[in-house]
Amino acid sequence: MTTQRFHPTRCRDAHRLSMTLDRVLSRLEDDPVGLTCRALGYDTGIPESVWTRLREAHRRPDMAAGVTETDFHIAFANLLFRYPTIKLWTTPEGTVFLEF
Protein backbone atom coordinates (compact mmCIF):
# COMPACT_ATOMS: atom_id res chain seq x y z
CA MET A 1 0.00 0.00 0.00
CA THR A 2 1.24 3.43 -0.91
CA THR A 3 0.23 7.00 -0.38
CA GLN A 4 -2.08 8.66 -2.87
CA ARG A 5 -2.83 12.25 -3.74
CA PHE A 6 -5.72 13.70 -1.77
CA HIS A 7 -8.09 15.75 -3.89
CA PRO A 8 -10.38 17.86 -1.69
CA THR A 9 -12.96 18.22 -4.46
CA ARG A 10 -13.52 14.46 -4.44
CA CYS A 11 -14.23 14.39 -0.71
CA ARG A 12 -17.87 14.80 0.34
CA ASP A 13 -17.28 14.74 4.11
CA ALA A 14 -17.35 18.30 5.49
CA HIS A 15 -15.96 17.13 8.84
CA ARG A 16 -12.91 15.55 7.20
CA LEU A 17 -12.42 18.59 4.97
CA SER A 18 -12.50 20.86 8.02
CA MET A 19 -9.91 18.72 9.81
CA THR A 20 -7.73 18.71 6.70
CA LEU A 21 -8.01 22.47 6.28
CA ASP A 22 -7.13 22.96 9.95
CA ARG A 23 -4.06 20.73 9.54
CA VAL A 24 -2.96 22.60 6.40
CA LEU A 25 -3.42 26.04 7.94
CA SER A 26 -1.64 24.99 11.15
CA ARG A 27 1.30 23.73 9.12
CA LEU A 28 1.42 26.94 7.07
CA GLU A 29 1.38 29.04 10.25
CA ASP A 30 4.23 26.97 11.72
CA ASP A 31 6.26 27.23 8.53
CA PRO A 32 8.97 29.93 8.46
CA VAL A 33 6.80 31.86 6.01
CA GLY A 34 4.13 32.04 8.72
CA LEU A 35 1.03 32.29 6.54
CA THR A 36 -1.87 33.33 8.78
CA CYS A 37 -5.61 33.31 8.09
CA ARG A 38 -5.44 37.08 7.84
CA ALA A 39 -2.77 36.93 5.12
CA LEU A 40 -4.60 34.13 3.39
CA GLY A 41 -7.76 36.21 3.42
CA TYR A 42 -5.89 39.09 1.84
CA ASP A 43 -4.30 36.84 -0.81
CA THR A 44 -7.50 35.02 -1.77
CA GLY A 45 -10.13 37.70 -1.26
CA ILE A 46 -11.97 35.34 1.10
CA PRO A 47 -12.49 37.05 4.48
CA GLU A 48 -10.46 35.84 7.43
CA SER A 49 -13.68 35.05 9.30
CA VAL A 50 -14.66 32.54 6.59
CA TRP A 51 -11.28 30.77 6.82
CA THR A 52 -11.63 30.63 10.60
CA ARG A 53 -15.19 29.32 10.39
CA LEU A 54 -14.23 26.56 7.96
CA ARG A 55 -11.17 25.69 10.00
CA GLU A 56 -13.12 25.43 13.27
CA ALA A 57 -16.18 23.64 11.86
CA HIS A 58 -15.03 20.18 12.96
CA ARG A 59 -14.45 21.34 16.55
CA ARG A 60 -17.40 23.67 16.99
CA PRO A 61 -20.74 22.43 15.65
CA ASP A 62 -22.25 25.89 16.18
CA MET A 63 -19.84 27.23 13.55
CA ALA A 64 -20.60 24.35 11.17
CA ALA A 65 -24.24 25.26 10.71
CA GLY A 66 -24.83 25.95 7.04
CA VAL A 67 -21.31 24.95 5.98
CA THR A 68 -21.25 22.50 3.07
CA GLU A 69 -18.52 20.57 1.34
CA THR A 70 -18.80 23.01 -1.57
CA ASP A 71 -17.58 25.79 0.74
CA PHE A 72 -14.48 23.72 1.47
CA HIS A 73 -13.99 22.92 -2.20
CA ILE A 74 -13.93 26.63 -3.02
CA ALA A 75 -11.53 27.37 -0.15
CA PHE A 76 -9.14 24.56 -1.13
CA ALA A 77 -9.29 25.58 -4.80
CA ASN A 78 -8.25 29.12 -3.86
CA LEU A 79 -5.56 27.92 -1.48
CA LEU A 80 -4.02 25.37 -3.84
CA PHE A 81 -4.20 27.75 -6.81
CA ARG A 82 -2.26 30.46 -4.97
CA TYR A 83 0.20 28.03 -3.37
CA PRO A 84 0.76 25.33 -6.02
CA THR A 85 3.72 23.80 -4.19
CA ILE A 86 1.39 22.42 -1.51
CA LYS A 87 0.67 18.76 -2.15
CA LEU A 88 -1.89 16.80 -0.14
CA TRP A 89 -1.45 13.06 0.33
CA THR A 90 -3.42 10.36 2.07
CA THR A 91 -2.01 7.25 3.73
CA PRO A 92 -3.66 3.82 3.41
CA GLU A 93 -5.13 4.43 6.89
CA GLY A 94 -6.85 7.60 5.61
CA THR A 95 -4.64 10.19 7.31
CA VAL A 96 -4.06 13.28 5.20
CA PHE A 97 -0.64 14.95 5.27
CA LEU A 98 0.97 17.65 3.20
CA GLU A 99 4.28 18.57 1.71
CA PHE A 100 5.60 21.80 0.28
pLDDT tens digit sequence for 70-94: 999 999 999 999 989 999 999 988 8
Tell me which amino acid residue 32 is.
Answer: P
* Nearest 10 degrees: Cα torsion 70, 83, 34, 31: 100
Q: What is the pLDDT of residue 100?
A: 83
Residue 99 β-bridge partners = 87
Contact status, residue 45 vs residue 10, Cβ threshold 8 Å: no
Q: What is the mean pLDDT of residues 34-58?
A: 92
